[in-house]
Amino acid sequence: MSIKIGVLFYHSTVYPTMSNDLIKGFHSVLPASLTKDNFFQFIPEYVMQATTKQVEVTVQKLLSFHQADIIFGLLNYKAIPTLVPMFNRHRRIGLFSDMGEYIPYTHTITDTVFFNSFQLWQSEYAMGLWAQQQFGDKGSVAMGFFDCGFHLQNAFRQGTVIAGSAAIDYTIMYDPGTYHTDIAYKTNQYIDGLDDNNLPGFVHAIFCGHEAIAFLKAYRHSKIYGKVPLIVSAHMSSEDILQEIDTDMEMYSASMYNYHSPDALNQKFKENYISKTGEKPTIFSLMGYELGLGLLETMPALQKRDFKAVAETLKKIHIKSPRGIRNFYADDNYALPIIDIEKISIHNRVVNKIVVEQGRALRYDSAVYEEIHKEHVSGWQNPYLCV
């Protein structure tokens, strides 16, 4: 009997293929015997709107109507508590991925739901610590309306605090009367408002999608470019954003996965994925690949349909991924990411990245971890990811 995996599908204008990439990444790690026998059967279910309530309805349908054994999908921690009773009642497994826009809970909420996180917030903490050490007080953080509702800027600030920061400025580029705003115009307003005689030690930008591109272009042509170092969030320094910058430019960022790494595990991942799909893998493909590696470790229990044993195995295992050691159970021993602080140079539309330092991740038993939770209680409800 096959294992039914229900998959949450969302509409995303920034990453429209993310759910499909997750599935393709999972399939790319499977041995031919499992693929041939269709041991894993995927059941896609579209989440009508990106709301926590709609996710609840979709998960309930997958568990009750489709009788899914495992639920996959992009889902952040804030959407989980209301789902826990469903997984416990049906004695089934939730195995979710997230970009790490929120940090995990400080307590265990269930033994039936597991996470594979990209841990964006860890890159923010590492960049804040590095920026403060490298450029000194005081920095200025500029954010879009969408991005400010997560833990990213708080993790960055705590990094600067650990390095000795006394103060940091925040600017949210948003007009209360409208949801959308002209980021290029707001960026120029923001820069014009800076004191020429007391410029910040650095500017840290947190934007997504088209807003990220608009900010970078406006910053490049501003009066402070070349005077104030620019540090951008990890999702702002992705290939799909930087390829849109048509002028020479320099900035800093952090990376937790190097697509071009010659590491044997990375080469194997890319070869498997490209040979089976004919496509270039994305970060969502990688997270799906990691989920596949994890479930392969549970095969003896899966073949017996012993989901209690599957959960016990998922609590204990660590897998070797192209981005380092990963695990799926969010407790004090949650695996820390490898973080590279990079200097990025764009010349004639060619992007060059040089690692300038190894970033320092925050341990999950740190008092700072608890502090980030306490200082940022957000009502932001988008259930799947910060893009």
Domain annotation covers residue 387: no
Same domain, 163 and 218: yes
220 and 81, same structural domain?
A: no
Residue 361: pLDDT over 60: yes
Please report, for residues 73, 98, 244, the alpha-carbon distance to residue 26 in angstroms, rounded to integers and kept in the order given: 12, 15, 30
Residue 197 token pair: 């005689």
Could you tell me which residues come within 8 angstroms of residue 164 by beta carbon, excluding any fewer than 6 positions away? 132, 137
Classify residue 187: in a domain, yes or no: yes
From CA 18, how far away is CA 193, in angstroms rounded?
38
How far apart CA 346 and CA 291 sit, in angstroms, is 34
Rg (CA), the chain: 21
Q: Does residue 366 sit within a domain?
A: yes
Q: What percent of the chain has pLDDT over 70?
A: 95
Residue 44 and residue 68 share a domain: yes
- As a whole number of angstroms, the distance between CA 338 and CA 340 comes to 7
pLDDT by residue (tens digit) across 307-323? 999 999 999 999 999 99
User: Is residue 74 in a domain?
Assistant: yes
Above 60 in pLDDT, residue 383? Answer: no
Q: Are 137 and 366 in contact (CB under 8 A)?
A: no
pLDDT digits (tens, 9 = 90+) for 25-46: 999 999 988 888 889 999 999 9
Over residues 171-179, mean pLDDT: 74
- The per-residue pLDDT for 277 is 96
Average pLDDT over residues 166-170: 91
In the chain, % of residues over pLDDT 90? 71
Nearest to 236 by CA among 215, 258, 256, 259: 215
Residue 293, helix vs strand vs coil = helix
For the ranges 56-65, 148-157, 354-363, 368-377, which has the lowest average pLDDT? 368-377
CB atoms within 10 A of CB 201: 18
Shared-domain flag, residues 211 and 345: yes
Task: Answer yes or no: is pLDDT of 376 > 80.
Answer: no
CA 313 – CA 299 distance, rounded (Å): 10
Q: How confident is the model at residue 53 (pLDDT cuts 50, 70, 90)?
A: confident
Q: Which whole number is the average pLDDT over 268-295?
A: 96
Question: Is 74 in the same domain as 148?
Answer: no
Helix (H) and strand (E) counts in the chain: 14, 14
**Cα atoms in the 13 Å half-sphere on the side-chain side of 371:** 14
Mean pLDDT of 248-275: 96
What does DSSP say about strands 93-98 and 140-144: parallel, antiparallel, or unpaired?
A: unpaired
Confidence label for 387 from pLDDT (cuts 50, 70 and 90): very low
- Cβ atoms of residues 143 and 207 within 8 Å: yes
Q: Using an 8 Å Cβ cutoff, are 150 and 101 in contact?
A: yes
Specify the CATH number for the domain of residue 13.
3.40.50.2300
Q: Are residues 349 and 222 in the same domain?
A: yes
Judge contact between 291 and 95, C-beta under 8 A: yes
Q: With bands split at pLDDT 50, 70 and 90, how would you rate the model's confidence at 176? A: low
Count CB atoms within 10 A of the CB of residue 82: 13
Tally of domains in the chain: 2
Residue 151 predicted with pLDDT over 90? no
Which residue segment(s) compose the domain that 17 sits in?
3-118+260-326
Note whether 149 and 8 are same-domain residues. Answer: no
Q: 366 pLDDT exceeds 70?
A: yes
Q: Does one domain contain both 114 and 125? A: no
The answer to the question of residue 386 being in a domain is no
Report how far apart, in Å, the C-alpha atoms of 194 and of each of 128, 167, 223 are.
20, 16, 10
The tokens of 248 are what?
A: 């020479």
In a domain, 29, yes or no: yes
Residue 191, in any domain of the structure: yes
**pLDDT band, very low/low/confident/very high, at 386 (cuts 50, 70, 90):** very low
Q: Is the pLDDT of residue 166 over 80?
A: yes
359 in the same domain as 219: yes
Q: What is the mean pLDDT of residues 147-168?
A: 91
Tell me the C-alpha distance between 68 and 91, whole Å.
11
Token pair for residue 140? 């200025």
Average pLDDT over residues 251-261: 95
Same domain, 272 and 287: yes
Instruction: Assess if residue 380 is contained within a domain.
Output: no
46 lies in the same domain as 128? no
Selected residue with higher pLDDT from 189 and 375? 189
Q: Tell me the per-residue pLDDT of 261-273, one tens digit each, with 9 for 90 and over.
A: 999 999 999 999 9
Of 99, 130, 118, nearest to 355 by C-alpha is 130
pLDDT digits (tens, 9 = 90+) for 206-245: 998 889 999 999 999 999 999 999 999 998 999 889 999 9
In a 3-state reduction of DSSP, which class is residue 336?
Answer: coil
354 and 320 in a single domain? The answer is no
Model confidence at 250, pLDDT cuts 50, 70, 90, reads very high
